Every structure is written in C-alpha cells, then in structure tokens.
Amino acid sequence: MRVVWTEPAETDLEDLFDYIARDSAIYAERFVDRILDAVVKLAEHPRIGRKVPEANAEHIRELIVQSQRVIYAIDDSNDTINILALVHVRQDLAGQDALPWR
C-alpha cells in the first residue's frame, strides 16, 4: 500500500518538531524519525495499528509512538493509507466536533 500524508498531518508533524526543537533540535529530529519509521511499516502492515476508539470504524486506526497517536485511514479501494493527524495521547477526541477522519 502507498502511504500518503495529508496536509493537516504534515502540519501536525512540523508543529511537533518545532515544539520539541525549542529545547533540543536533536531530540526533535530523533522523535520525528521514530514517527516516520513507524509510519513506513504501514505500507506492508496496514492493520498493525489498533482501531481508534472514538471513531468506531474498522478502517480508522492509530499507531502509538511514545506520546503521539498517529491516526490514519486505510483505503483499500485505492490501495492507500492516509495519515490524518498526530494527536497527543492525553487528548480526548470524543467530545470534539472537528475530528481527523471527518
């Protein structure tokens, strides 16, 4: 499968890098690299992540990379995995109107 980063997810990744880089550019780079390495695995194993509890949909999944939830959608019809967002693990999505998969 092909992995595609959506614009909001790219922005989330850049914002995360910038936030960590305020203290250490090296740690920011290492953390982003961990996220990118995890996402690469999705091409071969798209269902490796768990279903997102708030989404209640089989095709909306997430990988947990340290403090971040990498939320993605599997599109079997296009043989594509769309990275939708990066969200801190403590952030509760249940009550939000603007959800990454809508």
pLDDT digit string, tens, across residues 15-29: 999 999 999 999 999
Q: Is the pLDDT of residue 96 over 80?
A: no
Residue 71 is predicted with a pLDDT of 96
At 35-69, the pLDDT tens digits run 999 999 999 999 999 999 888 899 999 999 999 99
Distance CA 31, CA 50 (A): 21
Nearest to 38 by CA among 89, 53, 30: 30
Whole-prediction pTM value?
0.93
Q: Is the pLDDT of residue 88 over 90?
A: yes
Nearest to 1 by CA among 90, 61, 65, 91: 61
Q: Which top CATH class is 2-88?
A: alpha beta
**Per-domain residue ranges for the chain?**
2-88
Residue 67 is predicted with a pLDDT of 93
